Amino acid sequence: MNYYTRSFFTIAFLIGSLKPSLAFSQETSANSPITYSGFFDAYYIKNIAVPVTLANKIRVFDPSDNEFNLALGEIDILKKAEPVGFRIDIGTGRVAALSLTGLIQQAFVTVVVPVGGGLTIDVGQFVTHMGYEVIESKDNWNYSRSILFGWAIPFYHTGARISYPVLSNLTATVSVLNGWNSTTDNNKNKTLGLMFNYAMLPSTNITLCGISGVEQSEPSISGKRNVFNLIVTHSLTDDLSLAIDADYGEERIPAGLATWKGGAVYAKYSIDTKSDAAVRFEIYNDAGNSAPTSTGSPQKLTEVTATYEYRPVENLIVRGEIRNDMSDINYFDNTKASNSKSQLTFLVGAIVTF
């Protein structure tokens, strides 16, 4: 029984086990200490170039051409910290297989200490504080993930984090972590994460993030991996929202100093109560070093994505997307077994929430 089969039956069993609780919590949600939610996310993607390798290069969660896929099936179990709580996110599918180690996406305990405005402590495994986009496509404006999301930052961490509201509109978070995308540490050093979230205006939010630590294995350690991330969101009108995501990273490796940097601009427009349109444009400069954050070739990557979302009923999200990835070198595969400078794809995704 392969990974996907085992995972599917595990999720199905959990849904069956939780079904009475889910129905009960919907009826008495105000009194229930534990809440449940989840979704199933599937898609089909077609690469117009028909790559001979059947690979959509640089695409982290939709890497195979001409395929139907269960992207992610997820169940989230949450108990609000009053003062002790927890969260468990269990997932399966292509996204879970590529970004996680097993079925667990998040599993952490939360304690709220009544100091000042409230000190929140999380201990366990949790998704990264870095980046504008998240693992779940339903919570992003576009269906496919950006180059920055896939290459510039980590997906998750294991460790501890402390958050405190320094001001009514400013929250600071400090994390001590085992490293990038790992449940265990591969060296004697810990990784430090920082995040400052500033609600400058009701319509404008600024988030500054950083992460620094040794990510190479003992004894071959050359230096730290450092990444700085800036996120700005702004609601221009009730219907039009904008966002900016920018990253700069560097790491000293045996071959020298590896660097990567890039930025993405987003716009989302609410057409009506059931449909939205979103666009994303980004640039990613890859020095081509052998760091894990490199695509393997020195190049300047750009991409443009347009996404249309339609919600015909309350628990169903349907998305259609066209995306063009571009490079300044012949990097992408095509049907003639040679490389080209662009990669045009079409994608249709459906998400059912519960």
Q: What is the pLDDT of residue 217?
A: 81
Instruction: Note the pLDDT of residue 24.
Output: 40
pTM above 0.85, yes or no: yes
The domain spans of the chain are 3-353
Quote helix, strand, coil % in the chain, to nearest 5: 10, 55, 35
Contact between 198 and 173 (Cβ < 8 Å): no
Mean pLDDT of the chain: 89
| Distance (Å, whole) CA 305 – CA 311 | 20
CATH code of 3-353, in short, is 2.40.160.10
- For 297, the token pair is 């070739």
Amino acid at 281: F
3-class DSSP assignment, residue 6: helix
CB count in 10 Å sphere of residue 225: 23
Q: Look at residue 26 in the predicted model and tell me its pLDDT.
A: 44
Quick one: pLDDT at residue 34? 93
Torsion from C-alpha of 206, 61, 78, 195, nearest 10 degrees: -30
Residue in 290, 307, 309 with CA at minimum distance from that of residue 351: 309
Summarize pLDDT for 5-42 with one digit per residue, the tens. Answer: 455 455 554 455 445 444 444 444 556 789 999 999 99
- In this predicted structure, the answer to whether residue 93 has a pLDDT above a threshold of 80 is yes
If you search the block for the tokens 């079409």, which residue do you land on?
346
Q: How far is CA 225 from CA 62, 189, 192, 213, in A?
A: 27, 12, 11, 6
pLDDT tens, residue by residue, 138-164: 999 999 999 999 999 999 999 999 999
263 bridge partner residues: 246, 283
